[in-house]
Amino acid sequence: MGDWRDNLPPVRGKLLHDQPLAPYTWFRVGGPADVLFIPADEDDLAAFLKALPEEVPVTFMGVGSNMIVRDGGIEGVTIRLMGGYWGKVEPAGPNSLFARAGALDLSVAKAAAKAGLAGLSFFSGIPGTIGGAVRTNAGCYGRELKDVANQIEGITRSGERVRFEADIAQYGDPKVEFSYRHTNFPDDIIVTGLLLTGSGAGDPEVLEKEIAEHQKRRAETQPIKERTGGSTFANPDPPGTPDQRSSWKLIDQAGCRGLRVGGALVSEKHCNFLINAGDATAADIEALGELVRARVLDVTGVDLRWEIRRIGRPQTV
């Protein structure tokens, strides 16, 4: 692509060359972005994408929770929607909130509680941002994003602004579909905001207690103080026997609790979590995940599906 980095479109946000990405991910691993772009707002992002040559690859990331950035870094432009503007959550009419893509899921739950809006507290149990939640139809405690997403706004790779109404309307063909920890939401769209609809009025104090209980439960059952990336593998879908309905049970059954590859470790506290024990590389973490998948397949016959997104280039020697 020649000297494409010397001829980037002007922006109002930040453009950083050869920017290390490890500090931006929860695993704290990974190589640099050729270019990291943090746009000021939707207009800044749309104008940049419209002017960026088509041959330059574009990758999107939020808070870097459910992802592994490989050690060779990311080719092209990495766009990160974080910061004050992208983290805003605001009331949007009866029973609704509008959250920009960089808003933490926990912030969405807290904003709903403060507004006395029930039905959104489950977001407090999901790591990451609301924009990232779209890609995996994130959920917990029996609810998923698709249950509350009323409208999704985004920008295409070519800089066109698009909106999906109510039942997640069509974008070309076929219709966008959400299923368990999966969506076929178009890859060329970066989510910029969501209109979320709750289940009606609720007592703010009750809702805040509900969030506190979710947080307490997470702290007791998950290694949230470690360098981790959230649940590594989706539960089998469709579910099998009772012993095959939870990924952690399958991983435990295969004897993987505490398994290590280099500086990467399967959590003793919750074995569907991988941990950077201090000196792991992205390659260590990904190799450990693949080893777990192989052992589970060999012992149980179940082929686990990665829930964590893995992006970028392997480290070259």
- The catalytic residues are 181, 231, 307
C-alpha torsion sign, points 157, 67, 222, 257: positive
Q: Which residue in 65, 58, 55 sits closest to 273, CA to CA? A: 65
DSSP 125: G
**Cα of 164 vs its chain's centroid, Å:** 19
CA dist 292 and 277 (Å) reads: 17
Task: Give the list of residues 6+ apart from residue 30 with CB closer than 8 angstroms, or none.
Answer: 21, 22, 68, 69, 70, 71, 73, 282, 312
C-alpha torsion sign, points 90, 96, 99, 104: positive
Alpha helices in the chain (DSSP H): 42-51, 105-114, 130-136, 204-221, 247-253, 282-300
Q: Rounded to 5 degrees, what are φ and ψ at 312?
A: 100, -175
CA dist 15 and 294 (Å) reads: 40
Q: Which residue in 227, 260, 249, 242 sits closest to 304, CA to CA? A: 249
Cis peptide before 174 (omega within 30 of 0): yes
